[in-house]
Chain A
Amino acid sequence: MQTRRETWLAMLTLALPLGMVLVAFVWPVAQFLSQAFQSEAGPLAPFAQLLTVGVYRKIFVNTMGLAAVVTLACVLIAYPVAFALHHARGVWFRVILYCVLFPLWVSVLVRTFSWILILERNGPLNRALVGGGLIDEPLKLLFSNAGVFLGMVHVLVPYAVLPIYTSLSRIDPHLLLASDGLGATPVQSFRRVWLPLSLPGVAGGAGFVFLLSLGFFVTPALLGG
């Protein structure tokens, strides 16, 4: 049973970080957000303007749409990667794991600037497409939704891979042996065992990526123009 002294000690230990969060984060954010209700035209006037003016509504829809498309792309890329990671052993496991984790160690700003070099009008991607005869003139990839999409997917894919991998790792291997023993083909085992049991991880990863995409700033600001 916890003594009175231990309770006080726990509260005292929590007091400093809690105080710092309140003073350095909650208070300034609350001050900033409270300004939304201090308009001369009325407390809800800025909200009405943002929700009714066409340009602002379009930006909101664009943000939601881009977040949804990025989430879908991240999940579609992350699932095979997580599946391969789950099945890989030894050196291959480490190679795939580091390929997933390494981008997380590099600053988002650096990765986004590297995308600027790749996507620019005379960049390697456009040169390869023109050189390969796929297009007649360079595409406008930079400062467009396509550029923002590519950059965001690149940054956010690891955040989808890790929850899906965790979900796949939790699947009881006996279920797969049972599926195999009952004569299911690999495709049937995937469709009836792997996929349904990994759905919580897929949903978790998708939710995580969607939430990050909604408030993403650096990549859209640099690649979207």
Chain B
Amino acid sequence: MNAISLSMLIQQFVTEQLDWTRAAAASIILFGTVLLVLAISARFLRIGQSGAR
């Protein structure tokens, strides 16, 4: 259990427990985290603005 990651948990929900509801919920949490990290990066790195300086 120590070295398990969120993507492995999603795979376990789908293939072993056949629990698509929780797999989808975990995917949304992972997706939300990625979007949050992207939003924070964009805020500090000024992604999308011409000339980063």
Contacts of A56 in B (CB 8 A): 9, 26
Count how many chain B residues have C-beta atoms less than 8 Å from C-beta atoms of the other chain. 30
Asked if A25 is at the interface (CB within 8 A of a chain B CB), the reply is: no
Kindly state the separation between the CA atoms of A60 and B34 in the bound complex, as whole angstroms.
13
Q: Known contacts A47-B29, A203-B45, A214-B34; decide if A36 and B4 are in contact (CB<8 Å).
A: no
Query: What's the dominant secondary structure at chain B's contact region?
Result: helix
Q: Which residue of B lies closest to A217 (CB)?
A: B7
A46, B7: Cβ atoms closer than 8 Å: no
Task: Give a binary string over A73-113; 1 marks a CB under 8 Å from any B CB, 0 the rest.
Answer: 00000000000000000000000000000000000000000
Query: What's the dominant secondary structure at chain A's contact region?
Result: helix
A35, B38: Cβ atoms closer than 8 Å: no
A50, B27: Cβ atoms closer than 8 Å: no
Contacts of A145 in B (CB 8 A): 2-3
Asked if A155 is at the interface (CB within 8 A of a chain B CB), the reply is: no
Asked if A188 is at the interface (CB within 8 A of a chain B CB), the reply is: no
A33, B28: Cβ atoms closer than 8 Å: yes
Q: Known contacts A33-B27, A47-B28; decide if A215 and B7 are in contact (CB<8 Å).
A: yes
A-B contact pairs, 21 of them (CB 8 A): A35-B20, A35-B21, A35-B23, A36-B27, A47-B29, A50-B25, A50-B29, A51-B29, A56-B9, A59-B4, A59-B6, A62-B2, A63-B5, A66-B5, A144-B3, A148-B5, A203-B44, A214-B6, A215-B30, A224-B3, A224-B5
Contact surface of A with B, Cβ cutoff 8 Å: 32-36, 38-39, 46-47, 49-51, 55-56, 58-60, 62-64, 66, 143-145, 147-148, 200, 203-204, 207, 210-211, 214-217, 220-221, 223-225
